[in-house]
Amino acid sequence: MEGDFGRPERGPARDGVRPLHGQKALVTGASSGIGRAVARALAEAGADVAVNYARGETAAEAAAAEFRALGVRAVAVQADVSREDEVEAMFARTLTAFGTLDILVNNAGLQQDAPVEAMTLEQWNRVIGVNLTGQFLCARAAVREFKRRGPRPEVSRALGKIVCVSSVHEVIPWAGHVNYAASKGGVMLMMKTLAQELAGDRIRVVGVAPGAIRTPINRAAWDTPEAYASLMTLIPYKRIGEPEDIAAAVTWLASDAADYVTGTTLFVDGGMTLYPGFEAGG
Ligand code: BGC
């Protein structure tokens, strides 16, 4: 029946053990933090993984070696995702290594915080450039490859998957971080617009919004008992998130188990978006 794409009954994408077996993934910002955990989880799920890094070749190569030990292919690919020429070169290298791409995880991101009156245009442009423009450039390159290559029903029901790592700050305003919050709000509507535009091509585009996760980007918020206690006033679930919490969500969203999920953000935040100020009833 037209419009009914059938239900694969078996095969590596459905075996439940290595749900991403045979798929090719690129994770940006994958040499540390959330990106590294995501890349590892995708490799554990059976995907070949390209480990993007901007700086820190040693860490990226170490990550790739670690993933290869899991029985998949892994390569480290350098690019500053805010630069079109570097993104194009990164995709060319990834496609040379793996032949194609099935999963893009747009993860690379940074903060350059300042009160608005002190924020320089350079700080504004840098954060928008990496966090938002970088996601656009990578998404565009991935979509071109998905459409060029066509379906691979032996590995996935979708033509391709793009997971945009956002933040609770796609909806929570954040004083002192106007560049960052604006970039993440932008990621949210970029994700939804691409999902709408590409659903007919069977390309899924989804978001994952981490709350406070234990990574170097926010070390000051968790590395002393006082800071941790203060952070907990913002988290109803009363623990900090770990990179693996995000990795599990991304892996599921990239898999056929989430084949009917597109254009939405999964918040992985211990309830940070639940107005914790109202915990005691307001
Ligand atoms: C930021 C972290 C912050 C968290 C919760 C993240 O997007 O990068 O620095 O701790 O949001 O506010």
Structure confidence by residue, pLDDT tens digits, 166-212: 999 999 999 999 999 999 999 999 999 999 999 999 999 999 999 99
180 as an active site residue: the answer is: yes
Instruction: Give the distance (Å) from ligand 1 centre to CA of residue 66.
Output: 27
Rounded to the nearest integer, the mean pLDDT of the chain is 95
Q: What is the pLDDT of residue 163?
A: 99
Question: pTM of the entire structure?
Answer: 0.94
Number of C-beta neighbours around residue 280 at 10 A = 6
**Mean pLDDT within 23-52:** 98
Ligand 1, residues 165, 167, 219, 246: which to mutate, most atoms within 8 A of Cβ? 167
Of residues 122 and 16, the one with the higher pLDDT is: 122
The pLDDT score that the predictor gives to residue 9 is 39
Q: Where are the domains of the chain?
A: 18-270
Q: What percent of the chain has pLDDT over 70?
A: 94
pLDDT at 216 over 80: yes
Statement: 18-270 belongs to CATH 3.20.20.70: no
Q: Which of the following is catalytic: 53, 180, 228, 275?
A: 180
The sheet carrying 103-106 orders its strands as 74-78, 48-53, 24-27, 103-106, 160-165, 203-210, 265-268
Share of the chain above pLDDT 90, in %: 93
pLDDT digits (tens, 9 = 90+) for 74-108: 999 999 999 999 999 999 999 999 999 999 999 99
Scanning 117-210, the segments in alpha helix (DSSP H) are 121-128, 134-149, 178-198
